[in-house]
A and B are shown apart, each in its own frame.
Chain A
Amino acid sequence: MNALEIDDVTVRYRRELAVDGVSLAVPQGRTVGLVGESGSGKSSIANAVVGLVRPASGDIRVGGASVVGRGAAVTQARRRTQLIFQDPFSALDPLMPVGASIAEATRATGRRWSREAKAARVRELLGQVHIDPARADELPAAFSGGQRQRITIARALAGEPSVLIADEVTSALDVSVQGAVLNLLRELQRDLGLSILFISHNLAVVRYISDEICVMRHGRIVEAGETEALLRDPADGYTRELLRAVPVLGRRMEFEDA
């Protein structure tokens, strides 16, 4: 059963074709990596899934229900997806205590929360992402980049999503912090049974976290498959080029073809 299905989706910005007939699926409880370079259309897909951009054609289904267009059913279905952003510094309102930001996101559940229930939920979520719940009243400025990224993950979880879209979530972080965020995502997926669409330009990171990988270029998916199989035996020339371009620690880069 697929948690998220993207079916022949096209996204257009004015004249520009950003996504050109892309189809992919995220099975329940799995992580699908979407890798590609700048301008390949991967962020447009993220925006289309959470409803920030409306696809020009095609359909997107979450748990079998379409999230394209308007209406109560669409809103209901869309609430089951949440987005985590690249830049932890712009992802939190600088004037809103982090707890309030997380509390705000509980609206996405579509239920009414009492004040106490909300506060308890915020504490629970902060604990889940390993932030001291007592710091809920502090402003984002009091937290480091890695901590902020964990808080934005807590905020995404507040919506009780079945599908998480992680859009370049570790690109703005130092290597030492990146590991903690990746570990947290894996832990949450296991504990909460989340399905994750993990978008990144970093093949090594995508490989580490994903069960399946889609390679995107110029708005299209050029290759897709199980992570190990795809990377062991890439069929597409572009995938091979990407693989070759990843530097490996201690192995001298060869440029015979360049």
Chain B
Amino acid sequence: MAASKRSRLRTPTAVVALVGAVALAAVALLGPAVWGSTADTTTVADRMLGPSAAHPFGTDELGRDLFARVMVAARLSLVLTLGATAITMAGGVVLGLVASVLPRVARRLVTGFMDILLAFPWLLLVLFFSAIWGASAVGAMLAIGFAGVPSIARLVYTMSSSLSGRDFVRAARVAGVGPLGVLGRHVLPNIRGPLLVNTAATASVTLLSFAGLSFLGLGVQAPDYDWGRLLREGIARIYLNPMAAIGPGLAIVLAGLVFTLASEALASRRGHGLRTIGRLAKAAAGIPSGDVEPSAPERARPVAEVRGLRVAFPDGDGGLVERVRGVDLTVAPGETVGIVGESGSGKSLTAMALAGLLAPPAVVTAAARTFDGIDLSRPLSRADAARVGAGLGMIFQDPLTSLNPALTIGRQLTEVPEVHLGMSRAQARERATEALRVVSIPEPERRLRRYPHEFSGGMRQRAMIGMALTASPRLLIADEPTTALDVTVQRQVMAVLRRAQRDSGAAIVFISHDIALVSAFCDRVVVMKDGLVVEELDAGRIRQDAQHPYTRALVACLPDMSSDRSRPLPVIAGDGSTA
């Protein structure tokens, strides 16, 4: 554990960034002393030389050594960069924080103005400010510094106003902490990390833009020189001596890289980038799932079955964490199975594995994993895909995110009939209309042309159920389908689900954290805890039949409409029993 923490703090990126920063600082501090005289020595005989051992980058038109000039220019380039970065960050932080505590009208004026400025390319802002302060080193520093203010101000404003909406800030305000106190005590400490990252990133951009401005002749003026100015002089002679341009170019790229790496090193301590996700995905791929043994034909073939199901995720240190640890679950045709458990019990993962929908980075292994006799652990043939696609319906917790926001309801409901049942568009539309009617959505023809965001929460959930009904569902998997809904709407959705089941004869796997709801809707209840099935019970006799202490505790600690109000609720102890 200690080792892994240390390795995270000393990533290669961080090491390179640190070494680079030290090197830059050294060159900036010592450069003029070490190379100063060489850089200014004019030798007419050595004019316009190409690269050689004595002059790695060649010489300029006065015979001065270009390598020495690049090293000496580091100080001015970096000082100007830091100056402009300081202006940008100070201006941005002050403006952003002030904007976040202004009264509403003033706040909207300020942020509206920031947004307008942000619409303009940054270079245009720099040119505007350059026109005001003139083509000089200080003018360019001011121009670049001020041009960066709007974007940092916007960032700070966004971060601090999102923090202001958080409950801990509201609690501080209720306790009587004033706006400035809130900024100092809660907002600033919480945005310090992102600000550091952005300071480094801003420094990188600033360095490059300084070079650009000097390159245009609008920055540092002769006889002073920074990297951009050397580049400008070099490019005029690029045919004679490419190194005259490439040398200062390299210096700019390397210095920019140091700032960028510093920013990345700071950022990587605070979350995972794309690369991490890719790496995790890779860790998960290629782990084989177990061989399938056909289940014993003791009763009617189950509509879905998993045996010895294990689901694991990479833990970030190269290992795997098992979240489902050997679960057997069989769903008979037409039955209603409830899975109940608290957060982290593995109930949702079990359902997703049952539907064959877990993708990397999840690592799924099972002795058997079938849907309607089809092995889900291998790639599906076209015919099998059609059977699974037509026979399986999914209903998720948040109906807004489970419907595609960019497609009409009609498009999403006609897909399965068109693709898997070979229906024409008109037939599929007819089928979708019928499905919406079954789930009690009024005016189904008109509603098919609507987008999900135009539906209410309960109606979206019913549309999801309708989607399953467009084909010939054998199994509906409903994962907390009513948790995001009000109880009265929950009741309506449950009614629709029940009717859909009666009409289609599909089995239902109903997942919820609410043991009362599960018992009121299902035939059979599977209680899960920590990735294991604790107990399976007849839904109507949970109170009487529950043996396992965890199930008994779950039942006991749930207040219902008949709980004794004069006594404290039983509480589940760490070992799963009531205390």
A70 interface hit (Cβ, 8 Å): no
Interface residues, chain A, CB within 8 Å of chain B?
Answer: 37-38, 50-52, 75, 79, 81-83, 85-87, 90-96, 101, 104-108, 110, 152, 155-156, 158-159, 174-176, 178-180, 182-183, 186-187, 201-205, 207-209, 227, 231, 241-253, 255, 258
Whether the Cβ atoms of B175 and A105 lie closer than 8 Å is yes
Residue of A nearest to B174 (CB): A50
With both beta carbons as reference points, the residue of chain B lying nearest to A182 in the complex is identified as B569
> B50 to chain A: closest CB distance in Å?
57
Q: Given the complex, which residues of B lie within 8 Å of A174, measured CB to CB? A: 342-343, 513
B167–A90 contact, CB under 8 A? yes
**Judging by beta carbons under 8 Å apart, are A108 and B521 in contact?**
no
Q: Which of B16-24, B121-129, B558-566 contacts A (4 or more CB under 8 A)?
A: B558-566
The one of A83, A155, A245 in contact with B491, judged by C-beta atoms closer than 8 angstroms, is A245
Any chain A CB within 8 A of the CB of B421? no
Interface contact A87-B167, CB-CB below 8 Å: yes
Chain A contacts of B515 at CB under 8 A?
175, 249
B174 touches A208 (CB 8 A): no
Q: How far is the CA of A105 from the CA of B563 in the complex (A)?
A: 35
Contact B492 A258 (CB under 8 A): yes
Contact with A along B550-579 (1 / 0, CB 8 A): 000111011111110100111110000000
For residue A165, which residue of chain B has the nearest CB? B174
Q: Are A175 and B176 in contact (CB under 8 A)?
A: no
| B560 contacts A204, C-beta separation under 8 Å | yes
Contact among B185, B498, B499, B559 for A104, CB-based, below 8 A? B185
Return chain A residues, CB-CB under 8 Å to B554.
175-176
Q: What is the number of residues of chain B that contact chain A, defined by CB distance less than 8 Å?
A: 59
The one of B166, B496, B569 in contact with A90, judged by C-beta atoms closer than 8 angstroms, is B166
Residues of B within 8 A of A (CB): 166-177, 185-186, 189-190, 342-343, 486-492, 494-496, 498-499, 513-517, 519-521, 539-543, 553-555, 557-563, 565, 568-572
Chain A residues near B174: list those with CB within 8 A. 50-52, 81-83, 108, 159
Is B519's CB under 8 angstroms from A108's CB? no
Q: Are A155 and B171 in contact (CB under 8 A)?
A: yes
Question: Contact at B175–A159, with CB atoms within 8 Å?
Answer: yes
Cα distance A136–B169 when bound, in Å?
A: 19
A179, B168: Cβ atoms under 8 Å? no
Flag if B572 contacts A179 (CB, 8 Å).
yes
Beyond the given pairs A250-B541, A250-B542, 10 more chain A to chain B contacts, judged by CB atoms under 8 angstroms and listed by A's residue number, are A52-B170, A52-B174, A75-B176, A85-B167, A90-B166, A96-B189, A156-B171, A249-B516, A255-B494, A258-B495
Residue of chain B at shortest CB distance from A95: B189
Q: Which residues from chain A contact B172 at a C-beta distance below 8 Å?
A: 93, 104-105
Q: Is the CB of A245 within 8 A of B570?
A: no
Residues of B within 8 A of A108 (CB): 174-176
B561 and A179 contacting across the interface, CB-CB below 8 Å: no
**How far is it, in angstroms, between the C-alpha of A201 and the C-alpha of B170 when the chains are bound?**
22
B495 and A255 contact, CB distance less than 8 A? yes
Q: CA separation between A152 and B539, bound complex, in Å? A: 37
Q: Are B557 and A247 in contact (CB under 8 A)?
A: no
Q: What residues on B are CB-neighbors of A159 within 8 Å?
A: 174-175
A-B contact pairs, 5 of them (CB 8 A): A51-B174, A52-B170, A79-B176, A108-B175, A247-B519
Q: Contacts A107-B176, A152-B171 known; A37 to B521 CB distance under 8 Å?
A: no
Known: A92-B168, A204-B559, A253-B521. A248 touches B516 (CB 8 A): yes
Contact with B175, one of A86, A107, A243 (Cβ below 8 angstroms)? A107
Residues of A within 8 A of B513 (CB): 174-175
Chain A residue with minimal CB distance to B491?
A245
Residue of B nearest to A253 (CB): B520
Per a CB cutoff under 8 Å, which of B186, B541, B571 touches A183? B571
Q: Return chain A residues, CB-CB under 8 Å to B169.
A: 93
> Across the interface, which residues of B come within 8 angstroms of A202, CB to CB?
487
Known: A83-B174, A108-B174, A179-B570. A247 touches B517 (CB 8 A): yes
Q: Please, how many angstroms separate the alpha-carbon atoms of A252 and B516 in the complex?
A: 10
**Which listed residue, B492, B540, B557, B568, touches A250 by the CB 8 Å rule?**
B540
Complex Cα gap A178–B553 (Å): 12
Q: Top 4 closest A-B pairs, CB basis?
A: A258-B495, A37-B486, A179-B569, A176-B572
Cβ-closest chain A residue relative to B543:
A250
Chain B: CB-nearest residue to A206 = B559
**Inside 8 A of B342's CB, which chain A residues have their CB?**
174-176
User: Are B168 and A90 in contact, CB atoms less than 8 angstroms apart?
Assistant: yes
Within the assembled complex, what's the spacing in Å between the Cα atoms of A179 and B167?
22
Chain B residue contacts of A201, Cβ below 8 A: 486-487
Considering only CB atoms, which chain A residue lies closest to B178 in the complex? A107
Report the separation of the CA atoms of residues A94 and B168 in the bound assembly, to the nearest whole angstrom.
Answer: 9
Contact B190 A251 (CB under 8 A): no
Instruction: Find chain A residues with CB under 8 A from B539 CB.
Output: 250, 252
Given contacts A96-B185, A175-B557, contact A91 B173 (CB under 8 A): no
Docked Cα-Cα span, A243 to B555, in Å, equals 20
Q: Is the CB of B570 within 8 A of A208?
A: no
Given the complex, which residues of B lie within 8 Å of A179, measured CB to CB?
557-559, 569-572
* A229–chain B nearest beta-carbon distance, Å: 13
Q: Give A30 Cβ to nearest chain B Cβ, in Å.
A: 13
**A250 and B167 within 8 A (CB):** no
Instruction: Say whether B519 contacts A249, CB under 8 Å.
Output: yes
Once the chains bind, are B175 and A104 in contact (CB under 8 Å)?
Answer: yes
Most buried by A among B487, B488, B519, B540: B487
Chain B residues with Cβ below 8 Å from A180 are 569, 571
**In the complex with contacts A152-B171, A179-B572, A201-B487, A247-B343 CB distance below 8 A:** no
**Interchain CB contact (< 8 A) of A91 among B168, B176, B177, B565:** B168
Residues of B within 8 A of A227 (CB): 565
Tell me, in angstroms, the Cα distance from A245 to B498 when the chains sit together: 15
The distance in angstroms between the C-alpha atoms of A202 and B514, with both chains bound, is: 12
The reply to whether B543 and A205 contact each other, CB–CB distance below 8 Å, is: no
Complex CA gap A11/B514 in Å reads 33
